[in-house]
């Protein structure tokens, strides 16, 4: 479930969850009243009271929840993307502006899915970027200490893992 937008409205918060507009009103005692915009039906939801709740209860049901900021969701999506072009090459790009802490591979290295490639520091957090699939590192566009912008190319990985012929 993803929250696409939110805004304050007369003591309540209006949110868009998976494309559906809802109003959330916090009540005394920590419970929340949630209803679809335009509907008179509502449900009482109680979170576990943690700073980043991990569970929610509604009458008769309990569910595990994952709450994240919009920035964390964007980073997760960028890290999972593993964008490959038409010839199967993967272009690894910076998910957000930051500084290169470490480049973990060199041109010519063979990598497997999930292999660490580059560590980007953003907002005092280190974000390790991984290979989306197996391949050979064909180019590295950054070096340790470099500043990068969101979407900037960091490295490319060819889908061809065959050994190169000796010269």
CB 153 within 8 A of CB 89: no
Question: pLDDT, tens digit, for every residue of 75-94?
Answer: 666 655 555 555 668 889 88
Average pLDDT of the residues in 29-52: 79
Listing DSSP states for 47-99 in one string gives: E-SSSS--EEEETTEEEE-----HHHHHHHHHHHH--B-TTS-EEEE-SSSEE
Alpha carbon dihedral 125, 100, 93, 81, in 10-degree steps, equals -40
Tell whether 59 and 109 lie within a shared domain.
no
| Residue 81: per-residue pLDDT | 52
Tell whether 95 and 43 lie within a shared domain.
no
DSSP state of 23: E
* Confidence band for 166, pLDDT divided at 50, 70 and 90: very low
Tell whether 103 and 32 lie within a shared domain.
no
Q: What total number of domains does the chain contain?
A: 2
Question: pLDDT, tens digit, for every residue of 154-165?
Answer: 999 998 666 554
Q: To the nearest whole number, what is the mean pLDDT of the chain? A: 79
Question: pLDDT, tens digit, for every residue of 46-86?
Answer: 877 777 777 888 888 888 877 766 667 666 666 555 555 55
Give the CA distances from residue 19 to residues 37, 42, 58, 145, in Å, rounded to whole numbers and listed in that order: 12, 18, 21, 40
pLDDT above 80 for 95: yes
Tell whether 117 and 141 lie within a shared domain.
yes
Residue 50: give the domain boundaries.
3-64
């Amino acid at each position: 479930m993803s929250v696409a937008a939110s805004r304050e409205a007369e003591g309540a918060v209006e949110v868009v969850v998976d494309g559906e507009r809802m109003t959330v009103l916090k009540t005394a005692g920590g419970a929340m009243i949630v209803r679809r915009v335009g509907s008179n039906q509502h449900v009482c939801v109680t979170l576990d009271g943690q700073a980043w709740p991990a569970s929610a209860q509604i009458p008769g049901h309990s569910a595990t929840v994952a709450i994240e900021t919009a920035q964390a969701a964007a980073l997760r999506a960028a890290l999972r993307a593993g964008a490959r072009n038409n010839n199967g090459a993967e272009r690894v790009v910076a998910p957000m502006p930051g500084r290169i802490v470490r480049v973990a591979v060199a041109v010519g290295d063979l990598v497997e899915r999930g292999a660490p490639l580059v560590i980007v520091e953003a907002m005092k957090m280190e974000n390790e970027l991984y290979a989306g699939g197996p391949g050979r590192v064909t180019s590295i566009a950054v070096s340790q200490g470099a500043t990068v912008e969101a979407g900037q190319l960091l490295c490319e990985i060819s889908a061809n893992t065959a050994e190169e012929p000796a010269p």
